[in-house]
Amino acid sequence: TQGSGKSYSMVFLAQKIRRQFTGSPTFVILTDRDELNKQISDTFEACGCLSGKARQYIPSSGAKLYEMLRGNPSFIFTLIQKFNDENAAPITPDHDIIILSDEAHRSQVNLEQQVRITENGVQRHYGFAKYLHDSLPNATYVGFTGTPIDATIDVFGSVVERYTMTESVKDGITVNLVYEGRAAKVTLDEDKLEEIEA
């Protein structure tokens, strides 16, 4: 789904899980941009899922995030960038932690080591996704994306539900996009081409 449709899909999934399963899970709603974090938390608040204002469910720092994860809040809305402590001890609480990742094709799939050669030698580092998975090894991960790529499926598993552009157009949610291809006539100045080659 696209845009705020993903926010509502997250709300519906969280509410369905709460109704159908016992226990008191913590839902960590994860994205990689402040605007998306605010949009999603506002959607949860508008749907009546939060007791109080959305901002109390948004940790102000990585340290506050880890503190909240050790508790059992109903919801945490955070950026993946706050999972940046490579030395953080794994958090394995008695309750379930369910990660709902927005834009799951972007920063949530960088689990592999990155190597960069600089003036000071070889630098090795991992992406935030590795620190997320190391911090919450027993969590359940659900990815939401409008752009599924192979890496998304590698991290989150097979596609559970798909809402295609064709279905969205048919439902009247998306305006039909039409592309009319045409060949561009390109001519080359042979003298300039020889000059460039030389």
Q: How many residues does the chain have?
A: 198
pLDDT digit string, tens, across residues 13-63: 899 998 998 888 999 999 888 888 898 899 999 998 888 788 889 999 888
Residue 154 token pair: 């590698």
- The whole-number average pLDDT for the span 164-181 is 81
Q: pLDDT band for position 186 (50/70/90)?
A: confident
Segment 87-96, tens digit of pLDDT:
788 888 888 9
* CA angle (136, 138, 139) in 5-degree steps: 70
Tokens representing 46 are 């508008």
**Can you tell me the distance from the alpha carbon of 156 to that of 101, in angstroms, rounded to the nearest whole number?**
10
Q: Are the beta carbons of 70 and 37 closer than 8 angstroms?
A: no
Write down the residue that tokens 């969280």 correspond to. Answer: 14
Q: What confidence score (pLDDT) does residue 15 get?
A: 92
- In the predicted model, what is the mean pLDDT of the chain? 82
Please, are residues 136 and 91 in contact by the beta-carbon 8 Å criterion?
A: yes
Strands 26-31 and 97-102: parallel
Distance CA 28, CA 98 (A): 6
Distance CA(174)–CA(167), nearest Å, equals: 9
